[in-house]
Amino acid sequence: MIDKIKEHIAEVEKFTTESKEAVESFRIKYLGKKGLLNDFFAEFKNVPNEQKKEFGQTINKLKKTAEEKVNTLKSALDNTTAETGIYGDLTRPGEATNIGARHPISIVKNQIIDIFSRIGFNVSEGPEIEDDWHNFTALNLPEYHPARDMQDTFFVQTNPDILLRTHTSSVQVRYMENNKPPIRTISPGRVYRNEAISARSHCFFHQIEGLYIDKNVSFADLKQTLQFFTTELFGKSKIRLRPSYFPFTEPSAEVDVYWGLETEADYRITKGTGWLEIGGCGMVDPNVLKNCGIDAEEYSGFAFGVGIDRIAMLLYQITDIRLLSENDVRFLEQFKSAL
Ligand code: DAH
């Protein structure tokens, strides 16, 4: 009998498990009401007197070993499940996902696309490396036309026919060559000019071109469209159209939006006037329509081109245009909450 109890002690010492249920059935087997220990204790009265002492000591040892085993297994399991159970500690705060930020130019570009898509404009794009025809000649800027000097052009290598587009107006030409009126399209994109880089100007920036060609399109349609656009974008509706000159439109105007002078940045960005020039516009010159294969007797239309960078600077109070292309994460991170 004593040997049998000793075998149990060895068994208890060896026992190990990682499951709470197994610990519990182990406890019941030895220490439960109908467990082995109680059976052995009940045997006590049948043990001959001279063996009683050793028998008693052995059962007590079994009891102690079993109790200790249950306690250590239980506490080990309690600690591990708290930390590494399948789902871990469900009350722990979640880990934040590190989301990126959209670039302010993209944010503003998408807003403008959204506004124009609500009044039936689609989006079109053209290449950044252009030829002379699409960037200049078709837009009523023939070779040696003095207005070419207004846009300091980067030529690609030594070929004077291939250049980095100086404006998105080149996309107007491509669109008219490939589509029949009625046309309502906007063309966002990057443009390049050989200008000294400063806080206010850069050698590349972004424009959105707009083109509307149909029968009986008038200057009033142009003005109303620009009015709608600026009201939607800025929440401010005061604009002015200053007479101007562009070879591809007649008449032509420059578009200013009244922004106000509430902050230091407003002063700097609007040169202290409160007015921001956002781009140019006008009625498409009949010559341009002809160059693109559209009957200028039947159709007329308007076009405009606005600078995205300036608008982004005003909306986000950015006082140095260079920040838009430096890719400094401390700057870019600030746009995380914007769409
Ligand atoms: N392309 C002109 C520029 O970059 C802007 C412009 C003016 C675009 C008048 C137009 C327009 O479509 O009608 O300075």
Q: What is the pLDDT of residue 328?
A: 93
Residue ranges of the annotated binding site are: 250
Q: What is the dihedral of CA 270, 201, 190, 171, to 10 degrees?
A: 70
279 lines ligand 1 (CB under 6 A): yes
Q: What is the pLDDT of residue 81?
A: 55
CA nearest to 257, candidates 229, 230, 287: 230
CATH architecture of 104-335: 2-Layer Sandwich (3.30)
Q: What does pLDDT average to over the chain? A: 90
Give the tens place of pLDDT for each residue, 37-74: 888 888 888 888 888 898 889 989 989 998 999 898 88
Longest dimension (CA), the chain: 130
Burial class (CB in 10 A: 0-12, 13-18, 19+), 296: middle
Of all protein residues, whose CA lies closest to atom 12 belonging to ligand 1?
304
> What residues does each domain of the chain span?
2-87, 104-335
Give the mutation target among 139, 167, 211, 256 for probing the ligand 1 site: most ligand atoms within 8 A of CB.
Answer: 167
Helix (H) or strand (E) holding 129: strand 129-131
135 lines ligand 1 (CB under 6 A): no
Strand partners, 109: none
Q: Where do we find the tokens 């070419």?
A: 148
State the distance from the centre of ligand 1 to the C-alpha of 246, rounded, in angstroms.
7
Total-model pTM: 0.72
Average pLDDT over residues 95-101: 82
State the distance from the centre of ligand 1 to the C-alpha of 208, rounded, in angstroms.
9
State the distance from the centre of ligand 1 to the C-alpha of 140, rounded, in angstroms.
12
Average pLDDT over residues 146-150: 73
307 lines ligand 1 (CB under 6 A): no
Higher pLDDT: 158 or 154? It is 154
pLDDT at 80 over 70: no
